[in-house]
Amino acid sequence: MHLPESSHVIYKRNPLIRVACQLRFPPILKISHQEPVEFQDEIRFKYPLFEATRQPFSVEVHQAIQQAMPQVGLPTLSEVWYSFHSEDKKWQILVTKEFITLMSSAYDRYELFIQRFREVVEIFERIYQPSFYTRVGLQYQNLIIRSQLGLKDKKWADLITNQIASELYNPELEPLVQSMQKSLLLQTDICQVTFNQALVMVTEAEAGNSEPAYLLDADFYTEEKLARDENVWNILSQFNKSAWKLFRWSITETLHNALQPQLIDKTEE
């Protein structure tokens, strides 16, 4: 799959609800059998909230996630899971014996996000010395809520392109669609992409009103063996560029403009 080129912008009305980056490696048993005292001591000023658990999800939720998104690679229910949160809980580091992940609900720029991850990974590598990486992934979750963008009167076909949601362009079918969920496994020039889309119901916290929203969830990854070197970060940079192309290819000019695009200053890249 070749994604068309598009000028990279940032959105003033950012639709991202979560971004995650994960590095997987062969099991390091020390992580399961010893609390990460040294690691926590080096990151605790940015991530002061710590939690260790052996069952972050219920059995039912764990199974549902694995069935819907097997690429996520959750630890088994008996496996220890270390979580380090920023004070505002908008940034989270997850560590198990097989992966390290950074998740954020406050993503602004890729350069800032990946720098935070690099800082943590450099500490992790120095302490635990993973042999190599078996999977490198970068995931973006965008949620389009029409009322927040002044688009309540627009149909989804005005906002989401025909390439990814042809159902919404059928005049007989579109009025009948109450919910939708689809998952595509795509092959790009540089990686594989698990691209999930769904029409979901969201509820406004204060007013309690519910409305449909469109979820675009793209996980870019490679499962090639990678050494612990600069190539890992080069690959993630390519994933970031491809993620932008896929998102822009998925939305119409109407939605693009409603998100209030701003050109990126090339001197900042």
User: Is the pLDDT at 262 greater than 80, yes or no?
Assistant: yes
Among the ranges given (26-35, 178-187, 214-223, 253-262), the one the predictor scored with the smallest mean pLDDT: 178-187
Banded model confidence at residue 178, pLDDT cuts 50, 70, 90: confident
Once rounded to an integer, what is the mean pLDDT over residues 195-207? 83
Query: Model confidence over 80-105: pLDDT tens digits?
Result: 899 999 999 999 999 999 999 999 99
Q: Would the CA dihedral through 194, 142, 182, 6 be positive or negative?
A: negative
Whether residue 214 contacts residue 144, with contact meaning beta carbons closer than 8 Å, is answered with yes
Transcribe 131-161 into DSSP letters.
S-BSEEEEEEEEEE-GGGGT-TT--GGGTB-
The residue with tokens 């594989």 is 192
User: Is the pLDDT at 14 greater than 80, yes or no?
Assistant: yes
Residues sharing a CB contact under 8 Å with residue 245, sequence separation 6 or more, in sequence order: 3, 4, 5, 6
Q: What share of the chain has pLDDT > 70, as a percent?
A: 87
Residue-level pLDDT at 267: 52
Q: Cα separation of 184 and 1, whole Å? A: 12
Mean pLDDT of the chain: 88
Query: Model confidence over 165-175: pLDDT tens digits?
Result: 888 888 878 77
pTM value? 0.87
